[in-house]
Amino acid sequence: MAGRAGVAAADSPAGGPEPAGGDATPGAVATREEGGPDGEPASAGTRPLGWRVFSTAWFVIGQVLLLGSLYMVYRVGRTYADGRQTEALRNALDVWHFERVLRLPSEYGIQQLALHSTHLLEAANRFYIGVHFPAAILFLLWVMFFQRAHWPRVRNVIVLATGAALVIHILYPLAPPRFLPAVSPHIPFVDTGLVIGPSAYSMPGAGAANEYAAMPSLHVGWAILEAWGIITILRYRARWLAVVHPVATAIVVVITANHYWLDGLIGGGLVYAAVVVTRPRPWSAVTGVALAPVRRVRSAVQPLTDAVMAAVSQARSRLARAGEQVVPVAPAQRGPVPALAAEEARAGGGPAGQQRAGADTSVSALARAAAVSSAAMAARAHAAGQAAARRMTPPPAPGGAGRPAGESPAS
């Protein structure tokens, strides 16, 4: 499968392979055998299957949650441009006239050519609705599972390009061309979604969509991103067919009157800028500046962390030593030494095993004899001590029975 064709990125600064690695070198490229998930070393392949499954599942869940959170932020951010329809329509007229100054082809003229075929426009509407999200999801899954070494850079390009697009959506609301007839009747664009169908904004759940965020076009931007990823990762000649996707997307968004040429150009420009920034050297500089405060905080708390870890390690060592201590056994319950008994139980059969068992039995008998001898010596020492104490006690004086304590015989 194409997933095993890990190669050097085509836009490497030196024109050759870029070093494999994690997020610090997002342009890293390697085969699946050369690297693990998100820069995981090749030695991970020798780990147990259960660990690899858990590691992969944890990685996928984390990346899905990250991208899902970013998508929700993007959707919420787009709604900030809602309620600014007047400004968005005024900006639409400005974009239309600016394109005429640049002598870009008229979107209206191209749509008029497409209006000769309702089947073509219906197919364009279905392409606009049904291709964008499935293509993006399939591309992300392909890179995440089959081209893991490329994933960090692809993810960073997505985050940078989409984040910049959100900022533009908020700062510059823009109505699509299909709304221009409301403010300029001499520009009679046709809303092909409403007239011919299907419409992306009349489907269930489309009420939350903001139709005044046309600049930039992420339909075109993401199509360019997907083509860049396929052409960069693969090395087959057929990879260049991926260029058809962004070209077809640009034509579709224009003839359906959903975007201007400038929307697509700016969307593609954001992706190109993100690709350039995420090359290894520029990305190292960017992350060095952005993560400098985090690194300073980490350096400040590192001694405390080391001290805590050392205390935990010492406590664990003390607990381990305490667990190894032997609990004394009462003389009446004294039996074979536990370690010797366990050794006897582990001794196997056969001549060698019987020899070891005989030796162990002799050692056990010696240990028991030593224990009995020690107990006898302790008893004799106790008896001798009591006898000495009796000899040192003076006998009572004659006739002193019943005399009050402390009274002399002369009294």
Contact assessment for residue 207 and residue 82, using Cβ atoms and an 8 Å cutoff: no
Residues 70, 163: Cα–Cα separation, whole Å: 8
Residue 305, pLDDT score: 79
CA 370 to chain CA mean position, Å: 63
- Assess if residue 48 is contained within a domain: yes
Residues 271, 276: Cα–Cα separation, whole Å: 9
- Assess if residue 346 is contained within a domain: no
**DSSP line for 128-147:** HHHTHHHHHHHHHHHHHHH-
Q: Between the CA of residue 205 and those of 70, 202, 208, what are the distances in Å? A: 19, 9, 7
Residue 393, pLDDT score: 60
Q: Between the CA of residue 186 and those of 93, 183, 281, what are the distances in Å? A: 12, 9, 51
Q: Which residues contact 111 (CB under 8 A, 6 or more apart)?
A: 189, 190, 192, 254, 255, 256, 257
Residue 300, pLDDT score: 77
The overall pTM is greater than 0.85: no
Residues 178, 256: Cα–Cα separation, whole Å: 8
Residue 396, pLDDT score: 57
Residue 60, pLDDT score: 86
Residue 21, pLDDT score: 38
- Assess if residue 7 is contained within a domain: no
Residue 6, pLDDT score: 40
Residues 396, 411: Cα–Cα separation, whole Å: 18
Peptide bond into 216 cis (omega under 30): yes
> Considering its fold, how many domains does the chain have in total?
1
Identify the sign of the CA torsion 151, 153, 156, 157. negative
- Assess if residue 355 is contained within a domain: no
Q: Which domain holds residue 187?
A: 29-291
Q: Where are the beta strands (DSSP E) in 2-149?
A: none
Residues 91, 98: Cα–Cα separation, whole Å: 10
- Assess if residue 141 is contained within a domain: yes
- Assess if residue 190 is contained within a domain: yes
- Assess if residue 98 is contained within a domain: yes
Low-confidence residues of the chain, pLDDT below 70? 1-46, 78-79, 81-82, 203-208, 282-292, 294-295, 323-376, 378, 388-411
Residue 36, pLDDT score: 44
